[in-house]
Amino acid sequence: MKLVTTFLLSAILFSSGSASACELTDEYKTVRNEITKSARESFNQCKASVLQAQNWYAFTQCIEQRDDKKIGGTCSRITGHNQKQYKLLSIDASHCNILGATSKEVKAIFEEHIKEKGTIKCKVT
């Protein structure tokens, strides 16, 4: 899902607005993808850590309640299939939003980078 989102974002942000065809160089595409991924990395890791905290919290409740013995199976399987029976932590991922770069910010970082490095956008045909 992340890969699809990153690809679509990259396609929208960096598509050529000119009427002439431009086949992007491999270097340009690589740099664009790396910068997009890097700009979103902190945000994505923050969101993932909240989910991991919720998963571990449910897992420890399963162990404390000995649900693995009562229900049968492991707490990993039990909590992986149904966490609704356990209390949730009172946190959500909204605090991660401050880490998310906007599309405009990502595009500005990318454009500055290719300008500094002299990255060629279009292949010469």
Dump pLDDT digits (tens) for 6-36. 544 455 555 545 446 899 999 999 999 999 9
Q: What is the pLDDT of residue 8?
A: 44
Element (H, E) at 36: helix 26-64
Other residues' Cβ atoms within 10 Å of the Cβ of residue 95: 11
Look at residue 15 and tell me if it is in a domain: no
Q: Give the model confidence (pLDDT) of 51-90 as tens digits.
A: 999 999 999 999 998 988 887 778 888 887 777 788 888 8
Look at residue 9 and tell me if it is in a domain: no
Look at residue 99 and tell me if it is in a domain: yes
Look at residue 5 and tell me if it is in a domain: no
Q: What is the pLDDT of residue 77?
A: 84
Per the structure, the complete domain to which residue 91 belongs is given by 24-117
Tokens of 77: 């399987």
Look at residue 78 and tell me if it is in a domain: yes
Domain count, the chain: 1
Look at residue 94 and tell me if it is in a domain: yes
